[in-house]
Amino acid sequence: MMTIRFDQIKGVVVKEIYGPNEQMVSSLAFHSGRVSVSSLFFSIKGAQEDGHHYIEEAISNGASAVIGENSEQLTRLSESYPSCTFIVVEDVRNAMAHMSKHFYNHADEQIFTVGITGTNGKTTVAAYVRSLLMLLGVPSGSIGTTGIWSSQEKWMYKKSTPTTPEAIDLHQIFRDFKEAGDEAAVMEVSSIALDQKRVEGMLFDIGIHTNFSEEHLEYHKTIDHYKASKMKLFEQSRQAVVNIDDEGMGKDLIHSYKGPLLTYSLIPGSEADLIGTGIEITEEGSMFTIQYRNKTFRVFTPVFGAFNVANVLSAIAVALMRGYTMDEVAAVLPELQGPEGRFQIIEVPDRTKVILDYAHTPVALDRLVEEVRKMKHGRLITMIAGIGIRDFSKMPKMAATIEGRADEVIVTVDHPGYHNPQTIVDQVMKGFKEPNAGNIHHALTRQEGVRRSLMLGQAGDIILLTGGCMNNAQIIKGEEVPHSDEDIIHEHYLQSK
């Protein structure tokens, strides 16, 4: 419970206020169904619904105050509910972010915050940064697609979004991290979250940019809007870590960013502060040389793929900015832990390897296949998926990216949403020059796709399963249907024993 004087909250610009100036507030909510006694309800005009239509439901569930943008509606309702406070603001999402920060006592300012943006690699970098900080002795939590992890364990939060939580949930998580004794919060910041002002009012200690390519056009509509949304993170970062090799946005950022900056690169002779070269892949991971301030360090870390070496460099930059030396970092790198489902290698019988990887853009798939082909293998069997809830234009590009680079290709569907799975498979198939080739197979569900891929595998093969699920589920007609690739894999190899 907290007493809130609505006209005195930093960052919340009140246009009009009706009813009592202050209220006891027990919780914050943006969904009428999550309102309880004395909640403050934010009515948001969304893509499907207008939250203003749910104000009366929120009040009947106990809301003591409502913040919204529709002055006419709020004025009218204030006459029927005189004990409730109605606050009109210019931008309700902006108000929600600032109010959440206030309600949770600015916990974000009491821990070290690292925000990561980029088309590919956010989840991976978040896991590497959390792991590296922990190995260096900083208890750290992380927030992103693989869930909420405190320094101790994965927390069972009800997620409001796939990747970056809504401001209310986010600030509660910072408060909970703080209470659990964590000193750092490492989080993925999606372009959609930036556009929807979920992190408004925050100042990150470090912002990281991994790379930029076409994605999320179903939301942003234009590539320029997508880019502008991502760039916003760096207006809210005290220091920045940027991939100088990224043609998409890295160069723009380096020119426009005014604060302290560390850049990283995989190109020998690059101008970057940290350069990773001489990558040698072993069965256990990658050995490579880091050049930093005219010194070289040969290091080992258990990650696979050149792009993951780049991701590790970004995590190292964070540790350096936090004051650790390269020698301290190099000493703990052999213990680094990555996220689940990203270049995750599962050893199965007969020297066969199954690799799970959440590559879901043509660029990610291209880099991934290039790296996997460098590993010792018999045949390469690759499953690709069209993601029903994302834009259809990238589906054929996934097919074009894999054609001719795997011995067998299985085309399947991830998260069909409200689409017919056959339409999604057909859309992916458009990208093959020879769609009728004998080594191209289809499966209308991910479950079936994984089974087909495993069945095609023989001793010594690599079976690469790309795409994947969020929250251990497939989104089908608005429902989250439980799904686990790993369960199917274990079942398959148990049965074939």
Ligand X SMILES: Nc1ncnc2c1ncn2[C@@H]1O[C@H](COP(=O)(O)OP(=O)(O)OP(=O)(O)O)[C@@H](O)[C@H]1O
Ligand Y SMILES: CC(=O)N[C@H]1[C@@H](OP(=O)(O)OP(=O)(O)OC[C@H]2O[C@@H](n3ccc(=O)[nH]c3=O)[C@H](O)[C@@H]2O)O[C@H](CO)[C@@H](O)[C@@H]1O[C@H](C)C(=O)N[C@@H](C)C(=O)N[C@H](CCC(=O)O)C(=O)O
As annotated, the binding site for ATP includes 118-124
Whether the Cβ atoms of residue 175 and residue 104 lie closer than 8 Å to each other: yes
For tokens 């919780």, the residue is 27
> In the range 194-223, which residues lie near ligand Y by CB under 6 A?
219
Is residue 31 involved in binding ligand Y (CB under 6 A)? yes
Select from 100, 123, 237, 286 the one that contacts ligand X (CB under 6 A): 123
Question: Could you say which of 23, 25, 28, 51 contacts ligand Y (CB under 6 A)?
Answer: 51
Question: What is the full DSSP assignment across 416-431?
Answer: -BTS-HHHHHHHHHTT
| Continuous segment of H or E residues that includes residue 239 | strand 237-243
Burial class (CB in 10 A: 0-12, 13-18, 19+), 493: middle
Residues 6+ apart with CB under 8 A from 368: 305, 307, 343, 357, 359, 464, 466
The C-alpha torsion from 353 through 356 and 359 to 365, rounded to 10°, is 10
140's contact among ligand X, ligand Y, none, with CB below 5 to 8 A by partner kind, is none
Q: Which does 357 bind (CB under 5 to 8 A by kind): ligand X, ligand Y, none?
A: ligand X
The answer to the question of residue 120 lying near ligand X (CB under 6 A) is yes
b/e 40-60 (16+ beta carbons within 10 angstroms → b): bbbbbeeeeeebbebbeebbe
Is 61 a binder of ligand Y (CB under 6 A)?
Answer: no
- Residue 288 contacts ligand X per CB under 6 A: no
- Closest CB 281 distance from ligand Y, rounded Å: 28
Pick out residues in 149-188 that bind ligand X (CB under 6 A): 163, 188
Nearer to ligand X, 73 or 263 (CB): 263
Binding ligand Y (rule: CB under 6 A), the pick from 160, 337, 472, 484 is 160
Distance in angstroms (rounded) separating the CA atoms of residues 98 and 138:
28
Residue selected from 52, 93, 122, 483 as contacting ligand X according to rule CB under 6 A? 122
DSSP 392: G
Q: Which member of 44, 63, 321, 354 binds ligand Y (CB under 6 A)?
A: 44
Cα separation of the two ends of the chain: 58
CB of 437 to ligand Y, least distance (A): 31
Contact of 221 with 175, CB cutoff 8 Å: no
Could you tell which of ligand X, ligand Y, none binds residue 32, using a CB distance below 5 to 8 A set by kind? ligand Y
* Helix and strand counts by DSSP (H, E) for the chain: 16, 26
Number of residues this chain uses to bind ligand Y (CB under 6 A): 22
Query: Where are the extended beta strands (E) located within 104-153?
Result: 112-117, 140-144, 147-149
| Interacting partner of 270 out of ligand X, ligand Y, none (Cβ under 5 to 8 A depending on kind) | none
Annotated binding-site residues read 32, 118-124, 163-164, 190, 196, 198
Task: With beta carbons less than 8 A apart as the criterion, state whether 4 and 40 touch.
Answer: yes
Beta-ladder partners of 481: 474
- Asked whether position 350 contacts ligand Y by CB under 6 A, the answer is no
* Residue 36 C-beta: closest distance to ligand Y, Å: 13
Please choose, out of 98-106, 273-281, 290-298, 357-365, the segment that lies near ligand X by the rule CB under 6 A.
357-365
Is 367 one of the binding residues for ligand X (CB under 6 A)? Answer: yes
Identify the H or E element spanning 78: helix 71-80
**Contacting positions for ligand Y (CB under 6 A):** 30-33, 44, 46-49, 51, 54, 145, 160-164, 166, 190, 192-193, 219
**Contacting positions for ligand X (CB under 6 A):** 118, 120-124, 145, 163, 188, 210-211, 307, 310-311, 342, 357-359, 363-364, 367-368
